[in-house]
């Protein structure tokens, strides 16, 4: 069929990934669609192939300039005529795009939501045959999503002004059930075809670490992964500046990105990262949405994000091409305080009335609590994330720090009883820090002035570290024996099951790390690439050949002034190393090589492979 031909000829793949064909068929059948698919699962291909098969023009509403630039650049490399309209274009350039659009040159036009009500664009759209409006990063339309953008509310007003209602297609990687319903309601979709393929990214390794010195942990990691590109996320601009400066001082090719930099510096630094001139990007969450860089080998969160949605979206920028990648989170208790401050100061609340603002803050605090639980659980990290989004995972993934950690089951029933009793004796009025201080027999002024040294539980865990007490309290909260309030300064209270521990003799077990190093995992190398090309692990191929092809790719990319991954992704180079094509026909069997790229680059890569094999 035609869609299969386009899939191979333009994009270089032999078969669709899960959910892609159903979404394309839904659009071609004239239906609105909602695609909820994890990063790297091929959401953009769904509306790109649909647009090429529909009559008329498709508009792709996209939130960031970088996303448009990357996707348009990649499509042009694949021989598709497309354009974008955003604030980076001058008036003359915008008019040129509109003139070409009126002449029917483009099947797809990417546009920023802020430009939808531009008079010249609206005039074009009202006279053109707009077959579909594809809303990328569709969670931005919901105030309950982690990246609500008021400009997205312009989309339905724009559609109302068109002569004929187009198909409305919405795509996102991170949507809870509440956000999904919001997307359908706000975009006024009519009985849409909804495809949720699951949120799992099997190629990503998740781990939470709690180092005493975060920077030393970071430097040790990047030192062991010198050939990988990666992103380091920090919660504040100050942290970005410090971490980036320290990495540069220590000889790493790092750059920075945050809202305090000039627009030109942000652009230059982003390009340095995209074009592999700088290997490490240190950034706040201002960086990354829509960045289509496929060869990111790691994402490290130097600070804990404020919710699971943000974390999974940011971590998901690793391994977009299907190759193995690490997602590490470096945690300490100060991260919670910082996030509480950021929640209270969030500028997105400024346009809301007092009641709305209060509800949003309460919701954000609840999500922060669940994010904090993630950092403390010793259960499967992948299971925790997937359950949050409504999936039903097995409970052991074999590819996260918890599943591969060297843990042992410890009976903490006695300590739990003492902690729960302390919460009760102090009348459920204090937070974790104070509870721990009482249990350890602290002589701090506030403990003495509040007469907490007089309660019967004072000092009953004096030989237990504060860290262990905190870990047990967090475990008891996660399991429902204790409850942590959502206030700005959270209070620990008794949960429904607290009595079962105190009086019912219930046994409580917790997994604690043994004092030995975590064993290395071989599990993830066994995972298969979903495109059918076998394992996507660089460990399984000839490293020397891979480096030769990578150098050739970089040389071509620099000559064409495009990012290296636009020429071929890492996954495509891995498949070349496995299949070692010797002819044009063989090269077409490599995942990610279509007719256009075969004609453009095929002979160069075939020659490089032959030269390597014959040396």
Tell me, what's the pLDDT at 161? Answer: 93
Retrieve residue 455's tokens. 């309660």
Bridge pairing between strands 254-257 and 482-484? unpaired
Tell me, what's the pLDDT at 517? Answer: 41
Helical pair 91-102 and 119-127, crossing angle rounded to 10 deg: 0
pLDDT tier for residue 514 given thresholds of 50, 70 and 90: low
Q: How far apart are CA 175 and CA 138, in angstroms?
A: 9
Q: How far apart are CA 546 and CA 609, in angstroms?
A: 10
* Segment 327-349 mean pLDDT: 83
**CB under 8 Å to 70, separation ≥6 — which residues?**
274, 290, 291, 292, 293, 563, 566
Retrieve residue 67's tokens. 């996303």
**CB under 8 Å to 609, separation ≥6 — which residues?**
545, 549, 576, 580, 581, 582
Is-contact 545 534, C-beta < 8 A? no
Q: How far apart are CA 256 and CA 275, in angstroms?
A: 15
pLDDT tier for residue 525 given thresholds of 50, 70 and 90: very low
Tell me, what's the pLDDT at 396? Answer: 81
Q: Is 76 helix (H, G, I), strand (E, B) or coil?
A: helix
Residue 470 scores a pLDDT above 50: yes
Query: Is the alpha carbon torsion for 574, 575, 580, 581 positive or negative?
Result: negative
Bridge pairing between strands 482-484 and 492-494? antiparallel
Q: What pLDDT, in 10s, does the model give residues 33-77?
A: 999 988 778 899 999 999 999 999 999 998 877 778 878 888 888
* Segment 232-250 mean pLDDT: 96
| N-terminal to C-terminal alpha carbon distance within the chain | 43
Residue 345 scores a pLDDT above 80: no
Is-contact 586 598, C-beta < 8 A? no
3-state secondary structure 179-195: HHHHHHHHCCCCCCEEE
Q: Which of 30-34, 215-219, 383-387 has the lowest mean pLDDT?
A: 383-387
Residue 556's closest CA among 310, 341, 190, 275? 275
* Segment 470-475 mean pLDDT: 88
- Using the CB atoms, write b or e for 19-54: b if 16+ within 10 Å: bbbbbbebbeeebbbbbbbbbbbbbbbbbbbbbbbb
Tell me, what's the pLDDT at 352? Answer: 62
Exposure on the CB side of residue 225, measured as CA atoms within 13 A: 21
Q: Which of 63-72, 269-278, 384-393 has the lowest mean pLDDT?
A: 63-72
Q: What pLDDT, in 10s, does the model give residues 569-586?
A: 888 998 999 999 999 999
**CB under 8 Å to 191, separation ≥6 — which residues?**
31, 32
**DSSP secondary structure string for all residues of 432-463:** HHHHHHHHTT---HHHHHTTGGGSTTTTTTTT
Tell me, what's the pLDDT at 289? Answer: 62
What's the DSSP call for residue 524? G
Q: What pLDDT, in 10s, does the model give residues 392-415?
A: 777 788 899 988 876 677 889 999
Q: What are phi and psi of 509, to 5 degrees?
A: -115, 145
For the chain, domains (ranges, CATH) are 2-196 (3.40.50.300), 204-406 (3.40.50.300), 408-513 (1.10.10.10), 532-614 (1.10.150.80)
Is-contact 612 26, C-beta < 8 A? no
Q: How far apart are CA 287 and CA 271, in angstroms?
A: 12
Tell me, what's the pLDDT at 178? Answer: 85
Q: How far apart are CA 240 and CA 244, in angstroms?
A: 6
What is the Cα 175 distance to its own chain's centre? 12
Cut 0.75: pTM above it: no
User: How many C-beta neighbours within 10 Å does residue 561 have?
Assistant: 8
Position with higher pLDDT, 323 vs 423 = 423
Residue 350 scores a pLDDT above 90: no
Is-contact 339 364, C-beta < 8 A? no
Q: What pLDDT, in 10s, does the model give residues 4-37?
A: 999 988 888 888 988 999 999 999 999 999 999 8
Bridge pairing between strands 254-257 and 280-283? parallel
Summary mean pLDDT of the chain: 87
Tell me, what's the pLDDT at 406? Answer: 63
């Amino acid at each position: 069929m035609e869609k299969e031909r386009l899939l191979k000829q333009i994009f270089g793949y032999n078969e669709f990934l899960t959910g892609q064909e159903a979404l394309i068929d839904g659009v071609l059948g004239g239906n609105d669609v909602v695609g909820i698919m994890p990063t790297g699962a091929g959401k953009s291909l769904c509306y790109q192939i649909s647009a090429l098969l529909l009559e008329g023009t498709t508009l792709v509403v996209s939130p960031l300039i970088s996303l448009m630039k990357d996707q348009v650049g990649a499509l042009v490399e694949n021989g598709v005529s497309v354009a974008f309209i955003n604030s980076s274009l001058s008036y003359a350039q915008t008019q040129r795009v509109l003139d070409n659009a009126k002449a029917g040159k483009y099947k797809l036009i990417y546009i920023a939501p802020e430009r939808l009500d531009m008079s010249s664009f609206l005039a074009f759209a009202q006279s053109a045959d707009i077959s579909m409006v594809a809303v990328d990063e569709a969670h931005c339309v919901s105030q309950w999503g982690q990246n609500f953008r008021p400009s997205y509310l312009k989309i339905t007003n724009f559609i109302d002004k068109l002569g004929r209602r187009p198909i409305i297609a919405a795509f996102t990687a991170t949507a809870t059930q509440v956000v999904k319903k919001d997307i359908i309601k706000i975009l006024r979709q009519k009985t849409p075809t909804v495809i949720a393929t699951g949120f799992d990214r099997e190629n990503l390794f998740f781990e939470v670490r709690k180092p005493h010195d975060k920077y030393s942990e970071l430097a040790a990691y990047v030192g062991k992964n010198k050939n990988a590109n990666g992103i380091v996320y920090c919660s504040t601009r100050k942290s970005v500046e410090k971490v980036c400066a320290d990495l540069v001082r220590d000889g790493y090719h790092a750059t920075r990105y945050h809202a305090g930099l000039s627009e030109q510096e942000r652009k230059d630094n982003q390009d340095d990262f995209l074009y592999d001139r700088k290997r490490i990007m240190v950034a706040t969450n201002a960086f990354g949405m829509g960045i289509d860089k496929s060869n990111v080998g790691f994402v490290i969160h130097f600070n804990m994000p404020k919710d699971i949605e943000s974390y999974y979206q940011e971590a998901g920028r690793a391994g977009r091409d299907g190759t193995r990648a690490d997602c590490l989170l470096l945690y300490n208790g100060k991260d919670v305080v910082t996030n509480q401050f950021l929640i209270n100061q969030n500028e997105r609340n400024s346009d809301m009335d007092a009641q709305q603002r209060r509800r949003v803050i309460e919701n954000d605090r609840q999500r922060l609590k669940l994010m904090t639980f993630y950092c403390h659980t010793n259960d499967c990290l992948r299971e925790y994330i997937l359950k949050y989004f409504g999936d039903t995972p097995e409970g052991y993934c074999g590819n996260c720090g918890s599943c591969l950690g060297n843990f042992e089951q410890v009976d903490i029933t006695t300590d739990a009883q003492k902690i729960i009793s302390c919460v009760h004796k102090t009348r459920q009025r204090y937070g974790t820090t104070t509870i721990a201080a009482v249990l350890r027999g602290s002589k701090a002024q506030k403990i003495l002035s509040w007469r907490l040294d007089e309660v019967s539980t004072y000092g009953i865990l004096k030989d237990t570290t504060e860290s262990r007490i905190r870990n047990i309290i967090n475990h008891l909260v996660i399991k429902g024996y204790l409850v942590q309030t959502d206030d700005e300064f959270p209070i620990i209270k008794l949960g429904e099951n607290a009595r079962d521990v105190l009086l019912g003799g219930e046994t409580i077990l917790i997994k604690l790390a043994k004092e030995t190093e975590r064993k290395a995992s071989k599990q993830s190398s066994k995972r298969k690439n979903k495109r059918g090309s076998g394992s996507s692990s660089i460990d399984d191929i000839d490293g020397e050949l891979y480096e030769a092809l990578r150098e050739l790719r970089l040389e071509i990319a620099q000559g064409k002034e495009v990012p290296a991954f636009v020429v071929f992704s890492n996954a495509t180079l891995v498949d070349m190393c496995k299949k070692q094509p010797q002819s044009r026909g063989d090269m077409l069997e490599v995942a990610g090589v279509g007719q256009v790229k075969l004609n453009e680059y095929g002979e160069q890569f075939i020659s490089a492979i032959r030269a390597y094999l014959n040396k």
